[in-house]
């Protein structure tokens, strides 16, 4: 046992948790920890805004499956983390945030940069802590990492007072036990639940699998493949579930929900059994829950018992690890072909191919879907893609075919604009090898564009595709569909993104036609370092299909057959 300062104990703990990289921004209340950092071999990435630190830790966690770590000082430093913490909470991302706090004796006296960050983050963390003594730092951090990664993953915040960082205490990591008296770990599938599930699966004529992010987080891709190969049950994916089941598999139907494939939503509505694996029936997936898959029995497998019957009442809820559950199901279910059901779904595709913008001839204008499709083609579908939130996010989900887990990193539940660039930095730190593309809109990019400086300082190899349509695109689309084209506060007067990136010392490209887009993608891939590509796309294109919020899942707005978007859309202003 040795004596160390609280600040040293922080870094000792992170080393014990095998943390190699942290993302943060120094300040007064966390200065002792930053001073102690000089004694430790942990890579610190200096962000330009603490929100970026939280997103980077999140991106690191999503790309690697490990716990991401963010640091900030008290007051505004801590509150700047909040959006990133909420994003991680909604998408079950394992993140530990460590914040400095004013010295214990002045807490509650409105000291400089004092803020009750544990109170603020209480609803958006799995748990949070205020630590006022050095001797409590190590057991708290050990518990925080355990909580972040166990069960349903999520963010944990540890707020440590400055005097606790400065005082000394004994440090003996091996003697610390994680004890959570109130914890209720998932029991796994019970024998009667397994029997009931097998009977429902064997009896179903029109079954469908809904694959969520839980497939990826539990490492269940292989088990799901075996299950599908045995039962021939088709699979649809949530946005965060994309990549959990190979897009090239003949029984992968594509994405479900608000901007999912039309045949997927119709199949869900006609199914007689839904197998919900690691998904949570959120409103973007179900539409109006009162009319959602009313003919279907429903089996829901989730690690979090709170999700069972929360949004949709199910016939059988199994609380447990999905990988273990699939192992048992694979041994117990009957082989089946479901030939007629899969043929019926094939017929549901109907005229979808005709409505697909990809089938229309090149008229010289550039469409976002073309850009995404070209990135997919030119990267052979092997890149990791980190998206922001908006139209481009849905086009990415539709036109980049995700083959493997953790290939798509995106903000699902909170829908956080500004997520993509910092999350990609975190992903790059987690995965030094391989190709990473940021796909973001011109609106969201500007929310965290300051992190271009971080890209330059860290000399990161990232390609940034700005889908620039001069609008807050998804909001504009809603205004077009539901507010009679009153484009209130959605047109954007943007800076010159190339000049902006060049000011950071980064390389840039610009494309206004499809041929230029292909050339730019190819050139960006050949170029070392961060490359920002400004794709000037058609301004008033819309994402189809679309289920209006609160409508039935099968009540979709489709791209009109008579519409020829290559001549119909508004005159380009570029």
Residue 566 has pLDDT above 50, yes or no: no
Q: Are strands 2-5 and 21-24 parallel, antiparallel or unpaired?
A: unpaired
**379, 384, 388, 389 alpha-carbon torsion, rounded to 10°:** 90
The active-site residue out of 474, 535, 546, 556 is 474
> DSSP string of 113-166?
T---HHHHHGGGSSEEEEE-SGGGHHHHHHHHHHHHHSSS--EEEEEEEHHHHH
> Is 196 a catalytic site residue?
no
pLDDT-derived band at 563 (thresholds 50, 70, 90) equals low
pLDDT score for 562 = 63
pLDDT score for 364 = 82
> Is 113 a catalytic site residue?
yes
Q: Which of 144, 333, 323, 288 is nearest to 217 (CA)?
A: 323
**Mean pLDDT in the chain?**
95
> Is 89 a catalytic site residue?
no
pLDDT score for 362 = 75
Residue 358 has pLDDT above 90, yes or no: no
- The tens digit of pLDDT for each residue in 45-78 reads 999 999 999 999 999 999 999 999 999 999 999 9
- The tens digit of pLDDT for each residue in 133-156 reads 999 999 999 999 999 999 999 999
pLDDT score for 570 = 34
Cis peptide before 165 (omega within 30 of 0): no
pLDDT-derived band at 559 (thresholds 50, 70, 90) equals confident
Q: How far apart are CA 255 and CA 412, in angstroms?
A: 13
The active-site residue out of 16, 113, 230, 516 is 113
pLDDT-derived band at 350 (thresholds 50, 70, 90) equals confident
> Is 404 a catalytic site residue?
no
Q: Which two tokens stand for residue 273?
A: 């059994």
Better-scored residue on pLDDT, 560 or 278: 278
- The tens digit of pLDDT for each residue in 496-511 reads 999 999 999 999 999 9
Q: How far apart are CA 311 and CA 450, in angstroms?
A: 38
Continuous segment of H or E residues that includes residue 391: helix 391-399
Residue 329 to residues 199, 236, 342, Cα–Cα distance (Å):
11, 19, 21
> Is 206 a catalytic site residue?
no
The active-site residue out of 3, 39, 112, 205 is 112
Look at the pTM and tell me if it is higher than 0.85. yes
The active-site residue out of 4, 8, 23, 50 is 50
pLDDT score for 140 = 98
pLDDT-derived band at 386 (thresholds 50, 70, 90) equals very high
The active-site residue out of 66, 126, 162, 206 is 162
């Amino acid at each position: 046992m040795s004596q160390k300062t609280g600040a040293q104990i922080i870094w000792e703990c992170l080393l014990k948790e095998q943390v190699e990289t942290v993302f943060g921004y120094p300040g007064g209340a966390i200065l002792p920890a930053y001073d102690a950092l000089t004694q430790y071999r942990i890579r610190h990435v200096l962000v330009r805004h603490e929100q970026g630190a939280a997103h980077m830790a999140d991106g690191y966690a999503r790309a690697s499956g490990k716990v991401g770590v963010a640091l900030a000082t008290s007051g505004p430093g801590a509150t700047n983390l909040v959006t990133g913490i909420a994003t991680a909470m909604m998408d079950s991302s394992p993140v530990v945030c460590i914040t400095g706090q004013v010295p214990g004796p002045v807490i509650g006296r409105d000291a400089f940069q004092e803020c009750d960050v544990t109170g603020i983050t209480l609803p958006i963390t799995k748990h949070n802590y205020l630590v006022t003594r050095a001797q409590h730092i190590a057991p708290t951090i050990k518990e925080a990492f355990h909580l972040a990664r166990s069960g349903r993953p999520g963010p944990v915040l540890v707020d440590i007072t400055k005097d606790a960082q400065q005082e000394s205490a004994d440090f003996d990591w091996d003697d610390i036990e994680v004890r959570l008296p109130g914890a209720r770990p998932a029991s796994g599938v019970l024998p009667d639940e397994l029997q009931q599930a097998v009977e429902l699966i064997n009896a179903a004529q029109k079954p469908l699998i809904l694959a969520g992010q839980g497939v990826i987080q539990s490492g269940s891709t292989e088990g799901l493949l075996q299950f599908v190969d045995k039962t021939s049950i088709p699979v649809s994916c949530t946005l965060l579930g994309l990549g959990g089941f190979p897009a090239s598999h003949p029984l992968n139907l594509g994405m479900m929900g608000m901007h999912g494939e039309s045949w997927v939503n119709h199949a869900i509505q006609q199914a007689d059994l839904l197998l919900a694996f690691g998904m949570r029936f959120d409103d973007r997936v179900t539409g109006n829950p009162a009319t959602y898959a009313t003919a279907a029995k429903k089996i829901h497998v989730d690690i979090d018992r709170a999700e069972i019957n929360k949004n949709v009442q199910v016939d059988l809820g199994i609380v447990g690890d999905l990988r273990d559950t699939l192992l048992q199901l694979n041994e117990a279910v009957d082989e089946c072909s479901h030939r007629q059901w899969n043929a019926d779904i094939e017929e549901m595709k109907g005229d979808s191919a005709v409505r697909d913008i990809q089938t229309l001839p090149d008229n010289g204008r550039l469409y976002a879907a073309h850009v995404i499709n070209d990135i997919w083609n030119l990267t052979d579908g092997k890149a990791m893609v980190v998206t922001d939130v908006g139209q481009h996010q849905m086009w990415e989900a539709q036109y980049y075919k995700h083959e493997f887990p953790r290939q798509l990193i995106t903000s699902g539940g909170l829908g956080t604009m500004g997520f993509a660039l910092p999350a990609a930095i975190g992903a790059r730190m987690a995965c030094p090898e391989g190709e990473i593309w940021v796909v973001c809109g011109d609106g969201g990019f500007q929310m965290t564009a300051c992190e271009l400086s971080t890209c330059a300082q860290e000399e990161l190899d990232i390609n940034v595709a700005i889908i620039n349509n001069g609008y807050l695109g998804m909001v504009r689309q809603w205004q077009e569909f539901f507010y009679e084209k009153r484009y209130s506060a959605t047109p954007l007067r943007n800076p010159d993104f190339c000049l902006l990136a060049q000011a950071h010392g980064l390389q840039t490209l610009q494309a206004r036609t499809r041929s230029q887009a292909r050339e730019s993608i190819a050139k960006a891939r050949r170029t070392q370092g961060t490359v920002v590509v400004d794709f000037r796309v058609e301004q008033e294109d819309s994402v189809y299909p679309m289920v209006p919020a609160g409508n039935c899942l099968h009540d979709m707005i489709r791209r009109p057959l008579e519409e020829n978007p290559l001549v119909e859309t508004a005159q380009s202003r570029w």
